[in-house]
Structure 1
Amino acid sequence: MSQNLHRPRLLPLALSVTLTGALLAGCSTSPTGRSQLMVVTPDQAITESKSAYVSTVGELGTEGKLVTDSKTLNRIKTITGRLVTEAVAKFPKTANWSWSVAVIDDAETLNAWCMAGGRMAIYTGIIDKLDLTDDEIAQIMGHEISHALANHTAEQMSRAVLINAGLQATAAATENNQYALSGTALAAKYALQLPNSRTAETEADRIGIELAARAGYNPAAAVSLWEKMKKAAGGSTPEFMSTHPSPSNRSKTLGKLGTEMLALNPTLKKAAVYPVTMVTSTSQLQ
C-alpha cells in the first residue's frame, strides 16, 4: 500500500517561497501554548488546502469513489457536525471555515484527514475494517479536526519550505540543479508523507478527545480505537498510522485523558449538529 495514497498535494506554495522568505519566518502559538515557527501562515495554508482538496477529491469523484449512500452520509454528517459545533464554540473564528466531508469508497484504505480550513475525508476502509462505533469515529474525526485547529498543516508546510529553501540556496551557490530537484522531492516528503511529530500528535489527541467528549461521545473509545488500529496493523502499516505515529504508551495516556474529559460531560449529552457539507459530487468543489 502506498504511503501517499490520495494524500492532498500542497507543493506549489512550498516551492514558491525563497530562502529570504524563510528567514523572515514568524512565530505562532498552538492552542496548548506551544510556540510554532511559521513560514506559511494559517491563512495561506487554508488557501493552498482548498486547491489541494478540489484537486484530490475531484480526482476521486471522477473515479466514482465518492460515497452517496444516505445512511453512511447521515451517520458521518451527524458525528462530524456535533464535533464541529464544539470546535466552533472553542475557536469562534472557525465558523467561517468551509466545513465539509467526503466519504471515500475505498475498502482497503484505513485513513481519514482534515485539511486547514475544515475540509475533511474519511475512507470506508477504516470504518468497515475496524467495525467502528460512532464513539470511535468521533475520536478519529475529532483528532483530525484538531490537527487543523492547531495549525499543524501550516506548521508542516513551513518545515518543508525551510528545508526546500536551504536546498534551493545550495543549488544556486553551487550551480548544481541536482540540489534543487532534491529540494522539491524532500519538501513534498516532509510536508505530506512523513509522520506528524509526537508533539503535534499529543496536541491533537488532547484537543480531539475533549471535542468528542463535549460533543457527547464516550472518550473511552479513544483507547478501543487505537487497540483496533494496532490489531489491524499486523505486519503492515495502515495509511492512518503511517502519518500518525503511535507511541507504546498512547493508549495509557488517552485512558487518563478520557477520565478527565468525561467529567466535562458526564451524561454524554449530544451536541447540536453543525451544518457540515457532505461532498458527493465534483460539482460541490467549486
Structure 2
Amino acid sequence: MNPFFKRSAAVMFAVCAATQGAYAAPRQDERPNQDQVVQDGIAVKPLNRNRIGSVWRDIAAPEEAVNEQAAQQYLALMSKAKQEGALVPESDPQVQRLRAIARRIIPNTIRWNQDAQQWKWQVNLLKSDEVNAFCMPGGRIAFYTGIIDKLRLTDDEIAAVMGHEIAHALREHGRDRQSKATATGLASQLGGAALSAWLGVDVRGATNAAGQLLVLKFSRDEEREADLVGLDIAARSGFDPRAGIALWNKMAVLNQSGAPIELLSTHPGGSERIEQIENHMNVLLPLYARSKGVPVDRLPPYRSNVAQR
C-alpha cells in the first residue's frame, strides 16, 4: 500500500477508535431492545444503568456524587442570588405561577425515571435578562425572568420549557454527558498519543476534535429527546403540547440576529425541532385531550402571544 494512503487509513482508524473505543459494543445477542425504548410513540435511549458501559459510567460519574454535587451547586447559586438581590421572593406571583405549574407536572415524571419519586424538588426564579432555565439532577429547577418576559410565555409554554429541562434530569443527560466527555477525552488522548508516536506526526488535535464532535452529537440527540419527553410530561399534566411549536417560533424571532452552525451547535436548529414536534403531535395531542376529558377533534386552536423583539 502507498505510504500516504497507509498513513491516511491509520489516521481515520485512530479517529474512529478515539471516539468510539471508550464504549464497549454490545454483543450481537444483546442488541435487540438495547437501542431504544418506545413509550406511547416516543423513542428514547434506555437509561445507562441498563446498558453495556454502565460500569464505566458509574466510575466516571456515580449517581450519589452527581446528585450531591448538584445539590451543593444549586444551594450555592440560590444563596449567591439572594445575597445579590437576584432571587425572586417566594411570595412573588411569577414564583407562585412556576411552582403551580411544577406541581401539576411532577406527578407525571415518574414514568420516565422511577427515581424521581424520591427527588427533593425545588423551583426558583432568578432576576436576569438571560433567556434560560434549567433543572439540575434531583429536580432542582430555576427559571430566569428573561425567558418569561422576553418571550411572553403562556402557562403552556412555561410547561413546555419546564418539561424540557426536567426531561434532561429524568433521562440523566447531564450525568451521561459528564461520563461521555470523560471517556471520549481519555480515549482521544490515548489514541492520539499512540498514533502520533507511531506515525512520527502529531495528530492529537484531530483525534481530540473528533472526540469533541462526538460529545456535541450526543448533546444534540439529548436535546431532541428532551423536547419530546418534556412535551409528553406537559401534555399528561394538562398543558397543550402545541405550545412547543409556539415556543420555538418565538425563539426563532428572538434569534434572527444569527445562530451557530448546526454541526458545531449543541442544540438542533429551531426548524428541525418544530418539525419533530409536529411529527409527534399525533401522539402528544391525544394525551392532552385525555387530560382535558375531550376528544382530540374538540380541542380549540392553540393561542399564544407575540414575542417581543
TM-score scaled to structure 2, two decimals? 0.64
Which of 255, 275, 289 aligns to 1:233? It is 255
Contact in 2 for aligned 1:83/1:215 (Cα 8 Å): yes
Q: Report the identity percentage.
A: 34
Letter of the structure 2 residue corresponding to residue 103 of structure 1: L
Deviant stretches of 4+, over 6 Å? 22-31, 167-170, 193-196
Q: Secondary structure at the match of 1:103?
A: strand
The answer as to 2:72 corresponding to 1:51 is yes
Aligned residues: CA RMSD? 3.7
Deviation, structure 1 residue 204: 0.7
Q: Which has the larger radius of gyration?
A: 2
The answer as to 2:292 corresponding to 1:265 is no
Which of 176, 182, 199 aligns to 1:161? It is 182
Aligned equivalents of 2:113, 2:143: Cα separation in 1: 23
Q: Secondary structure at the match of 1:127?
A: helix
Contact in 1 for aligned 2:224/2:268 (Cα 8 Å): no
TM-score scaled to structure 1, two decimals? 0.69
Contact in 2 for aligned 1:30/1:150 (Cα 8 Å): no
The answer as to 2:74 corresponding to 1:33 is no
Q: Secondary structure at the match of 1:264?
A: helix
Q: Secondary structure at the match of 1:117?
A: coil
Map 1:195-274 → 2, pairs under 5 A: 197-235=219-257, 244-266=267-289, 268-269=291-292
Query: Against the structure 1 CA distance between its residues 53 and 243, is the aligned structure 2 distance closer, same or farther, given a 3 Å change threshold?
Result: farther
The answer as to 2:150 corresponding to 1:129 is yes
Deviation, structure 1 residue 257: 1.8
Aligned equivalents of 1:232, 1:84: Cα separation in 2: 29
Contact in 1 for aligned 2:220/2:266 (Cα 8 Å): no
Q: Deviations over 1:178-230 (max 9, x none)?
A: xxxxxxxx9xxx7xx97972210121111111000000000110000000011
Q: Secondary structure at the match of 2:142?
A: strand
Contact in 2 for aligned 1:113/1:121 (Cα 8 Å): yes
Aligned equivalents of 1:75, 1:50: Cα separation in 2: 23
Unpaired runs of at least 5, structure 1: 1-21, 174-185, 271-286
Contact in 2 for aligned 1:195/1:245 (Cα 8 Å): no
Specify which structure has the bigger relative contact order, considering alpha-carbon pairs within 8 angstroms and separated by 6 or more residues: 1
Aligned equivalents of 2:118, 2:272: Cα separation in 1: 36
Q: Deviations over 1:246-286 (max 9, x none)?
A: 2532112212323321212315439xxxxxxxxxxxxxxxx
Moved more, 23-32 or 227-236: 23-32
Unpaired runs of at least 5, structure 2: 1-20, 27-33, 38-43, 195-207, 294-309
Q: Secondary structure at the match of 1:120?
A: strand
Aligned equivalents of 1:207, 1:199: Cα separation in 2: 12
Q: Secondary structure at the match of 1:48?
A: helix
